[in-house]
Amino acid sequence: MNNQERRYRLRPSVSIIPTEDVSVWEFFQSNTRRVTRFKVADSILIDMVQQLNQATLNELKEKFSNFPIEKFINHLYENGFIEDYDIAQKINNHPFNRIINFIADYLPTHESIQKFDKIQNSHVVIIGCGAIGSWVSQLLCQNGVTSFTLCDPDVVKRGNLNRSLFFYNDIGKKKIISLSETLERANKNVNVFCSDLLITCEKDVHDLLESSGKIANLVINCSDFPNVDTTSEFISNVCMETRIPHIISGGYNLHLSLIVPTIIPGKSACFHCIQSGLEKEIPVNFINKKSYIENREI
């Protein structure tokens, strides 16, 4: 389609809010909680944005010939405030339309489906399939990811049922097997490689990444044995060496379970930089009190 014949519309996640200054309007993206202010020459332009789908770009240029309307619309489009009307209809009919619409808050609409396809075809390695790993894998699966490596040597115990994605009938089964069955029920297209390898050193991480025969696009550490700091360090070391984005998470002393930094090699702070920063913030009475031995039977 000729660009001049394209129609646009205000994105569903965007609200236009007036300010005390009648010439300044806020564009609020509710998904990402971002606010951008625009100073407009005439409030009629705001009315135009709210009714974009009623006219083509060429018709708008004729109607608003006193304004650089094409430049204004291109700016709104590139920043995710408006979207191509025809592409929006395709997204609305997509089974993962909510995910794609969220992605479109960060980039132009025509790129959002392609980016979602990239996410859907990514291979995610999850180390530790307990209270964090089980839920993380389920949520990723529900959001379209179809390829996983699940790593955990443990079996489901009664004590896992109150915080993990397991059920009474799973007791005694390997966590990786039970979880893979759950993911397959959530998405018939999912492909899961299971490993019961106990990660105790960097070589184990290398072996795990090679065992599935697939290139890992993301590694998520949800393991807390022997402790989160230890597993995070050698997993991060390997991921930095192999240039794989990774997320450090885990359960701390059976009290807190959380997802923490996302590390992108060469683009973000590394694990050691983060650790160094955290150590500067440790209260004096906590120094040298890290737990290296934990009773995991509690």
Structure tokens at 199: 């990660």
In this predicted structure, what is the pLDDT of residue 283?
60
Q: Can you list the domains of the chain with their CATH numbers?
A: 3-117 (3.90.930), 121-286 (3.40.50.720)
Mean residue pLDDT of the chain comes to 87
Structure tokens at 60: 């708008």
In this predicted structure, what is the pLDDT of residue 285?
59
In this predicted structure, what is the pLDDT of residue 122?
96
Question: Which run of H or E residues covers position 230?
Answer: helix 228-242
In this predicted structure, what is the pLDDT of residue 298?
43
Q: Please state the separation of Cα 32 from the chain's center in Å.
A: 12
In this predicted structure, what is the pLDDT of residue 191?
96
Mean pLDDT by 10 residues, the chain (298 residues): 78 92 92 89 87 88 88 90 92 92 87 92 96 94 96 95 93 97 94 96 96 95 84 93 90 54 90 75 56 49
* Cα–Cα dist 179/155, whole Å: 11
* Global pTM exceeds 0.95: no
- Local structure of residue 124 (DSSP, 8 states): E
Residue 126 · residue 133 · CB < 8 Å: yes
List the beta bridge partners of residue 127: 151, 221
In this predicted structure, what is the pLDDT of residue 279?
65
Question: Which stretches does DSSP call E strand in 131-203?
Answer: 147-151, 191-195
